[in-house]
Amino acid sequence: DRLINEEDQKWFDDKLVTVLTQHFEKNWGTSDFVDACFGDFLATKPAPYVEIMDWDKASKTLKDFAEDYTLNLNKPMDLV
């Protein structure tokens, strides 16, 4: 569930290629989505997931969320 080792990552990559190829009728490779990241946390209101293109903005936004969490709950949240 967290893809914490190479075996899990390979399983996920292989499964993703299979599903994408089956449903989108295109030959996909794992290199096509190696750095793909999607989320809705950069929007100011509820929004569909979009590809995260601005890694600096994403990093700052996540750090801001962690700081707000710490301030509101008085319990630090360390991001990995």
For 40-75, what is each residue's pLDDT tens digit? Answer: 888 888 888 888 889 899 999 989 888 887 788 766
40 backbone dihedrals φ, ψ, rounded to 5°: -120, 5
Quick check: 35 pLDDT over 70?
yes
pTM flag (> 0.75):
no
pLDDT for residue 57? 92
Q: Give dist(CA 32, CA 16) in Å, integer.
A: 11
